[in-house]
């Protein structure tokens, strides 16, 4: 995944320009430190409040359905400067105050919120969060943004906002999302009405007006084919192969009200889908899922049209070549091993001090969450 560090370097270069040409600029506490030069890193460290990351929360004590759009969690529209990204689940949690409404959170806050409000299973919540945190978060302050653009305040002349956190392309965020465009086309994190219309068309055609695992299988395949045909930089390798298949199961598992019974379970109606994807809002009276969900249904989705990991050649469309070098959904231990050895090492080639300690802790939390895969632990 050669493009990975480059993306981060671009982001870091923007930050570095801000740091050295405008000393009034505060380094955002949630901005990633990946790819910074030693000089920039030391400068950034003078602005950061270093902490020891807390151990991740455990499973819920009561893990049945319950009202989550309650009086304590009213919906509020994001205010100026609040961050929202490509994940409709996390966006909704921030808009209801399960996460800080500004869109900047610690990994523990994210894990607590996705369990409490959606009933995401504990290990899934943990490994998803730490995969993202290590790539896109600030490991020294233990903060990550759920995406979007961070404005750099107090600068004259004004600087462009930093696109960062979970919106950082090629890290956790990737191509062929079902309601967000590929980064190649400009905006990789905002709700895209054309793609959502396609989501509704597929739900009509394959799900009688509902989104379910059958629809997910067809739409996942179609979005991959679209990206192969339209995006010369399309990339479905490594971690993205897993997340692309996992994410399309989430709407049917987590966005369906937990009070549904029998054949209504796993069937998402379009009004509810729009509420989450577009408005970042629980439907009135929403109850979380009736049991903790993992990536239930991912086998159905993958086996409908199995596509192996790979990518276009970067220059031309329709050049998709299988590339299993970074692992995939089908080889999760290789995925984990390459994530640490290739991706993390290229982002942090020589971590020292607090950064090294916190990176090691986060990698430990990630490995602990992957215990079901029975992989061999990789150390820095």
Tell me the H-state helices in 22-145. 38-45, 88-95, 107-118, 122-136
What is the rounded distance in angstroms from the CA atom of residue 196 to the CA atom of residue 146?
Answer: 21
User: Least Å distance between CB 78 and ligand HEM?
Assistant: 17
Centre a 10 Å sphere on the Cβ of residue 63 and count the other Cβ atoms it contains.
16
Q: How far is the CB of 355 from ligand HEM (least distance, A)?
A: 21
Distance from C-alpha of 33 to C-alpha of 139, rounded to nearest angstrom: 8
In terms of Cβ atoms closer than 10 Å to its own Cβ (0-12, 13-18, 19+), residue 47 is middle
Options 9-17, 74-82, 171-179, 257-265: segment touching ligand HEM (CB under 6 A): 171-179
DSSP E strands: which ranges in the chain? 104-105, 144-145, 149-150, 162-163, 210-211, 268-269, 310-311, 321-322
Q: Does 370 bind ligand HEM (CB under 6 A)?
A: no
If the CB atoms of residues 82 and 356 are measured against ligand HEM, the closer one turns out to be 82
Min CB(37)–ligand HEM separation in Å: 26
Within residues 129-168, the interface with ligand HEM by CB under 6 A covers 129, 132, 166
Contact segment (CB under 6 A) with ligand HEM among 39-47, 175-183, 297-305, 328-336 equals: 175-183
Nearer to ligand HEM, 19 or 213 (CB): 213
3-state secondary structure (DSSP) of residue 302: helix
Nearer to ligand HEM, 25 or 95 (CB): 95
Number of residues that bind ligand HEM (CB under 6 A): 26
Contact call for residue 250 and ligand HEM (CB under 6 A): yes
Minimum CB distance to ligand HEM, residue 182 (Å):
9
If one asks whether residue 178 binds ligand HEM (CB under 6 A), the answer comes out as yes
Strand pairing class (268-269; 210-211): antiparallel
219 touches ligand HEM by CB under 6 A: no
Between CA 256 and CA 293 the distance in angstroms is: 12
Query: What is the token pair recorded at 134?
Result: 């290590």
The span from the CA of 244 to the CA of 237, in Å, is 10
Confirm or reject binding of residue 174 to ligand HEM (CB under 6 A): yes
- Based on C-alpha coordinates, what's the Rg of the chain? 20
Nearer to ligand HEM, 16 or 224 (CB): 224
Residue 73 within binding range of ligand HEM, rule CB under 6 A: no
**Residue 293 interacts with ligand HEM (CB under 6 A): yes or no:** no
Contact 340, 378 (CB under 8 A): yes
Quote the least distance from Cβ 302 to ligand HEM, whole Å: 16
CA distance 12 to 25: 14
Interactions with ligand HEM, residue window 81-120 (CB under 6 A):
86-90, 110, 114, 118, 120
Return the structure tokens found at 17: 């320009």
Query: Is 254 a residue that touches ligand HEM (CB under 6 A)?
Result: yes
Q: What whole-number distance in Å separates Cα of residue 175 and Cα of residue 334?
A: 21
Closest listed residue to residue 56, CA positions, set 377, 289, 371 = 371
Q: Which is nearer to ligand HEM, 5 or 164 (CB)?
A: 164
Structure tokens, 70? 């309650």
Stretch that binds ligand HEM, among 22-30, 246-254, 260-268, 340-348 (CB under 6 A): 246-254
In this complex, which beta carbon is closest to ligand HEM, that of residue 15 or of residue 68? Answer: 68
369 binds ligand HEM (CB under 6 A): no
Residues at the contact surface with ligand HEM, assessed by CB under 6 A: 86-90, 110, 114, 118, 120, 125, 128-129, 132, 166, 172-174, 177-180, 243, 247, 250-251, 254
């Amino acid at each position: 995944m050669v493009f990975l560090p480059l993306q981060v370097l671009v982001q870091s270069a923007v930050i570095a320009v801000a740091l050295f040409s405008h000393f009034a600029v505060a380094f955002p506490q949630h901005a990633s430190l990946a790819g910074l030069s030693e000089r920039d890193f030391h400068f950034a460290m003078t602005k950061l409040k270093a902490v020891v990351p807390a151990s991740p929360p455990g499973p819920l004590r009561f893990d049945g359905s319950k009202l989550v759009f309650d009086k304590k969690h009213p919906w509020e529209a994001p205010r100026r400067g609040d961050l929202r990204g490509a994940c409709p689940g996390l966006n909704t949690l921030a808009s209801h105050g399960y996460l800080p409404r500004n869109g900047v959170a610690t990994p523990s806050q994210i894990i607590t919120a996705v369990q409490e409000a959606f009933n995401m299973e504990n290990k899934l919540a943990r490994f998803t969060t730490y995969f993202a945190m290590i790539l896109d978060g600030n490991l020294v302050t233990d903060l990550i943004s759920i995406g979007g653009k961070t404005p750099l305040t107090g600068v004259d002349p004004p600087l462009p906002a930093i696109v960062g956190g979970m919106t950082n392309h090629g890290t956790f965020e990737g191509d062929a999302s079902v309601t967000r465009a590929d980064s190649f086309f400009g905006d990789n994190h905002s709700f895209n009405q054309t793609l959502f219309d396609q989501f509704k068309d597929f739900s009509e055609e394959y799900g009688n007006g509902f989104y379910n695992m059958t629809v997910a299988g067809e739409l996942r395949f179609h979005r991959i084919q679209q990206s192969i045909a339209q995006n010369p930089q399309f990339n479905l390798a490594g971690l993205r192969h897993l997340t692309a298949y996992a994410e399309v199961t989430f709407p049917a598992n987590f966005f369906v009200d937990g009070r549904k019974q029998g054949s209504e379970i796993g069937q998402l109606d379009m009004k509810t889908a729009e509420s989450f994807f577009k408005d970042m809002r629980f439907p009135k009276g929403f109850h979380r899922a009736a049991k903790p969900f993992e990536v239930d249904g991912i086998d159905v989705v993958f086996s409908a049209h199995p596509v192996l990991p790979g990518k276009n050649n970067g220059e031309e469309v329709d050049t998709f070549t299988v590339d299993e070098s970074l692992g995939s959904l089908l080889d999760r231990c290789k995925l984990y091993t390459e994530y640490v050895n290739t991706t993390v090492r290229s982002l942090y080639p020589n971590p020292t001090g607090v950064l090294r300690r916190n990176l090691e802790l986060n990698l430990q939390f990630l490995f602990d969450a992957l215990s079901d895969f029975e992989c061999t632990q990789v150390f820095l």
